[in-house]
Amino acid sequence: MPRANRLKLLLLMTAAAMTLCGADAHTEGDVQPTNDLPNPYRTVAPWGKLPEGRTWGALNAVAIDNDGESVWVADRCGANPDIPPGASAFQYDSCAGSTLPPVLKFDSSGNLLKSFGAGMFIFPHKIFMDRDGNVWMVDERSANERERKKHPEESGKGHTVVKFSPDGKVLLTLGKAGVAGDPPDALTEPTSIVVAPNGDLFISEGHSGQAVDARPDTVARISKFTKDGKFIKSFGKLGSGPVEFRTPHDLAMDPQGRLFVADRGNMRIQILDQDGTFIAEWKQFSRPSGIYLRNDMIYVADSESNGVAPHPGWKRGMRIGSLKDGNVLYRIPDPIEMKGTSAAEGVAVDVKGNVYGGEVGPRQLVKHILIH
């Protein structure tokens, strides 16, 4: 039996056992931390062979090619030599002033196959592969004051989503480069994109919503476009109620067409329909930065608990559960337990059930190999 199928069987068996024991993934109120769970993986960190002289920068953009095995990654153009010790990766790790290509494709053995996108982005945030093999890149912010002072030519980049062909040809750009604003012309801090089966595009916006001092008018929404980039609607606002967000950090869509939102600042996953109607919330996956769905399973990266953001009792790592009922069955602990910095924000799963993590604080790509 293939390893991915074995893991799926283990998940279903564990879910059934939890149901018999009275486990309820949809319990209202406080949810007990899901920390003490089995880990059926062996971790290789770092993973992926970079060209000589290049080191990883912060990265949370990871996706699997349609071949099921190749891995697409976007990092922030290598390590920034100017970053002070302990400084925020959000402020210092970027592609401003770099000539390195941030979009990288690796084979299943970690060999670099191709790269592109040099000089196009400031802050690569998420990457998505659509069913036609096109690569979507999300550039979350424009150059900050320090970067503009050092690299004034970078002021016209950021706040965009770019669609590439598999070979790096630009096919479509959404947003007004370098300018934060509202659709249809502009985007504000886009964080992720997912493409529906009919081609509609869903883009999450608003990275700043989880700040304690976030203004009430801080952008926290999802914007919907046609496959050709025609604006349809936006939904959501800053808050903690249904269809309200505090940093919608990542998106995924299940085979039923339900939209899964990593509502990171609210420490929950929100499940919505494609019109923006609330369906459910799941808090048992902790503080989600990344979501990936495959074979009736949900993989969630928690990069901030236990050291970065307040979430008492919860530990960072990747939680794996049943997409059907939300029961959490496994947890991959952080390869590096670092306080004061974030770890795996990006997550992707290949056809064999191996899990890839894009880590911001440790600045590395890791591979968790299924051992059952």
Are 17 and 39 in contact, with CB atoms under 8 Å apart? no
Q: Give bridge partners of residue 124 from the DSSP assignment.
A: 139
What is the mean pLDDT of the segment spanning 257-283? Answer: 98
pLDDT(17) > 60: no
What backbone phi and psi angles, to 5 degrees, belong to 15? -60, -40
Q: In this predicted model, what pLDDT tens digit does every residue of 54-105 receive, in sequence order? A: 999 999 999 999 999 999 999 999 977 777 776 666 677 899 999 999 999 9
What is the DSSP secondary-structure string of 116-143?
Answer: E-TTS-S-EEEEEE-TTS-EEEEE----
- What is the number of helices (H) and of strands (E) in the chain? 3, 26
Q: How far apart are CA 13 and CA 20, in angstroms?
A: 11
Q: In this predicted model, what pLDDT tens digit does every residue of 117-157 receive, in sequence order? A: 999 999 999 999 999 999 999 999 999 999 999 999 999 99
- Strands, E, within 29-117: which ranges? 41-44, 59-64, 71-75, 103-106, 112-116
Q: In this predicted model, what pLDDT tens digit does every residue of 299-321 receive, in sequence order? A: 999 999 986 777 889 999 999 99
Provide the token pair at 317.
Answer: 């790592």
Q: Which CATH superfamily is domain 3-18+32-370 in?
A: TolB, C-terminal domain (2.120.10.30)
3-state secondary structure of 328: strand
